Chain A
Amino acid sequence: MINGSLKTLSEALAKKKISSAELSTLFLDRMARANPALNAFISIDREKTLAQARQADLRIAAGQAAPLEGIPLAHKDIFCTEGWLTTCGSRMLANFVSPYDAHVVSRMKAAGLVTLGKTNMDEFAMGSSNETSFFGPVKNPWDTSRVPGGSSGGAAAAVAARLAPAATGTDTGGSIRQPAALCGLTGLKPTYGVVSRYGMIAFASSLDQGGPMAKSAEDCALLLSAMSGFDARDSTSLDRPPEDYCRELEKPLAGLKIGLPKEFFGEGMAADVRSAVEEALAEYRRAGAVTVEVSLPNSGLSVPAYYVIAPAEASSNLSRFDGVRYGYRAPEYTDLADMYCKSRGQGFGAEVKRRILIGAYVLSHGYYDAYYLQAQKIRRLIANDFALAFRHCDIIMGPTTPSVAFAVGAKSNNPVEMYLSDIYTIAVNLAGLPGMSIPCGFGEGKMPVGLQLIGNYFEEARMLNVAHRYQLATDWHMRMPEETI
Chain B
Amino acid sequence: MSLSIEQVERLAHLARIEISPAEAELSRDQLNGIFVLIEQLQAVDTRNIEPMAHAVDAVQRLREDVVTETDRREAFQAVAPEVESGLYLVPRVVE
A and B touch in the complex (CB under 8 A): yes
How far apart are the CA atoms of A419 and B8 in the complex, in Å? 21
Asked if A290 lies at the interface with its beta carbon under 8 angstroms from chain B, I say no
Smallest CB separation, A338 vs chain B (Å):
8
Asked if B75 lies at the interface with its beta carbon under 8 angstroms from chain A, I say yes
- List of A residues within 8 angstroms of B11 by Cβ: 357, 360-361, 364
The answer to whether A325 and B80 have CB atoms under 8 Å apart is: yes
Per-residue interface assignment for chain B, residues 53 to 95, with 1 indicating a CB less than 8 Å from any chain A CB and 0 otherwise: 1111010110100000000100110111110000010111110
- List of A residues within 8 angstroms of B38 by Cβ: 304, 307-308, 362, 371
How far apart are the CA atoms of A364 and B72 in the complex, in Å? 37
The answer to whether B27 and A345 have CB atoms under 8 Å apart is: no
How far apart are the CA atoms of A238 and B57 in the complex, in Å? 11
How far apart are the CA atoms of A303 and B36 in the complex, in Å? 12
Smallest CB separation, B61 vs chain A (Å):
6
Smallest CB separation, B13 vs chain A (Å):
8
- List of B residues within 8 angstroms of A308 by Cβ: 38, 41
How far apart are the CA atoms of A338 and B91 in the complex, in Å? 9
Asked if A289 lies at the interface with its beta carbon under 8 angstroms from chain B, I say no
How far apart are the CA atoms of A414 and B30 in the complex, in Å? 8
The answer to whether A353 and B19 have CB atoms under 8 Å apart is: yes
Asked if B49 lies at the interface with its beta carbon under 8 angstroms from chain A, I say yes
Choose from B31, B55, B91 the contact partner of A336 (Cβ within 8 Å): B91
- In the complex, chain B residues 15-42 whose Cβ is within 8 Å of any chain A Cβ: 15-19, 27, 30-31, 33-34, 36-42
The answer to whether B56 and A236 have CB atoms under 8 Å apart is: yes
- In the complex, chain A residues 370-420 whose Cβ is within 8 Å of any chain B Cβ: 370-371, 373-381, 383, 414-416, 419
4 additional contacts, CB 8 Å, given A236-B58, A341-B13, A416-B34? A238-B58, A346-B18, A356-B15, A380-B50
- In the complex, chain A residues 292-349 whose Cβ is within 8 Å of any chain B Cβ: 298, 300-301, 303-305, 307-308, 315, 319, 322-327, 329, 333, 335-342, 344-346, 348
How far apart are the CA atoms of A457 and B40 in the complex, in Å? 28
The answer to whether A345 and B17 have CB atoms under 8 Å apart is: yes
Asked if A467 lies at the interface with its beta carbon under 8 angstroms from chain B, I say no
The contact sample of 20 A-B pairs, CB cut-off 8 A, is A232-B63, A236-B54, A298-B44, A301-B41, A304-B37, A304-B40, A308-B38, A329-B82, A335-B92, A336-B93, A338-B91, A344-B16, A353-B19, A357-B11, A361-B7, A362-B38, A370-B42, A374-B46, A380-B50, A416-B33
How far apart are the CA atoms of A414 and B39 in the complex, in Å? 18
- List of B residues within 8 angstroms of A301 by Cβ: 40-41, 44
The answer to whether A345 and B58 have CB atoms under 8 Å apart is: no
Choose from A207, A340, A378, A430 the contact partner of B16 (Cβ within 8 Å): A340
- In the complex, chain A residues 440-462 whose Cβ is within 8 Å of any chain B Cβ: 457
Choose from A193, A322, A377 the contact partner of B55 (Cβ within 8 Å): A193
- Chain A residue at minimal CB-CB distance from B43: A301
Q: Is the interface of A mostly helix, strand, loop or mixed?
A: helix
5 shortest interchain CB distances as A-B pairs: A432-B55, A345-B18, A376-B51, A192-B55, A377-B46
Size of chain A's interface in residues, with CB distance under 8 A? Answer: 74
The answer to whether A378 and B46 have CB atoms under 8 Å apart is: yes
- Chain B residue at minimal CB-CB distance from A432: B55
Select the stretch in A9-17, A67-75, A94-102 that faces chain B.
A94-102
How far apart are the CA atoms of A329 and B89 in the complex, in Å? 12
The answer to whether A364 and B14 have CB atoms under 8 Å apart is: yes
- List of A residues within 8 angstroms of B55 by Cβ: 192-193, 206-207, 236, 429-432
How far apart are the CA atoms of A360 and B15 in the complex, in Å? 7
Choose from A345, A362, A415 the contact partner of B19 (Cβ within 8 Å): A345
- List of A residues within 8 angstroms of B51 by Cβ: 373, 376-377, 379-380
The answer to whether A383 and B52 have CB atoms under 8 Å apart is: yes
The answer to whether A324 and B90 have CB atoms under 8 Å apart is: yes
Contact A99:B37 (CB < 8 A) given known A329-B81, A336-B92, A345-B19: no
The answer to whether A97 and B50 have CB atoms under 8 Å apart is: no
Asked if A279 lies at the interface with its beta carbon under 8 angstroms from chain B, I say no
Asked if A181 lies at the interface with its beta carbon under 8 angstroms from chain B, I say no
- Chain B residue at minimal CB-CB distance from A355: B34
Asked if A354 lies at the interface with its beta carbon under 8 angstroms from chain B, I say yes
The answer to whether B14 and A415 have CB atoms under 8 Å apart is: no
The answer to whether A238 and B52 have CB atoms under 8 Å apart is: no
The answer to whether B52 and A376 have CB atoms under 8 Å apart is: yes
- Chain B residue at minimal CB-CB distance from A230: B61
The answer to whether B37 and A307 have CB atoms under 8 Å apart is: yes
Choose from A97, A298, A360 the contact partner of B14 (Cβ within 8 Å): A360
Asked if A484 lies at the interface with its beta carbon under 8 angstroms from chain B, I say no
- Chain A residue at minimal CB-CB distance from B76: A99
Asked if A358 lies at the interface with its beta carbon under 8 angstroms from chain B, I say yes
- List of B residues within 8 angstroms of A29 by Cβ: none
Choose from B7, B18, B54, B82 the contact partner of A344 (Cβ within 8 Å): B18
How far apart are the CA atoms of A336 and B3 in the complex, in Å? 28
- List of A residues within 8 angstroms of B34 by Cβ: 307, 354, 358, 415-416, 419
The answer to whether A326 and B41 have CB atoms under 8 Å apart is: no
How far apart are the CA atoms of A414 and B29 in the complex, in Å? 11
The answer to whether B49 and A381 have CB atoms under 8 Å apart is: yes
How far apart are the CA atoms of A207 and B91 in the complex, in Å? 36
How far apart are the CA atoms of A182 and B76 in the complex, in Å? 39
Asked if A144 lies at the interface with its beta carbon under 8 angstroms from chain B, I say no
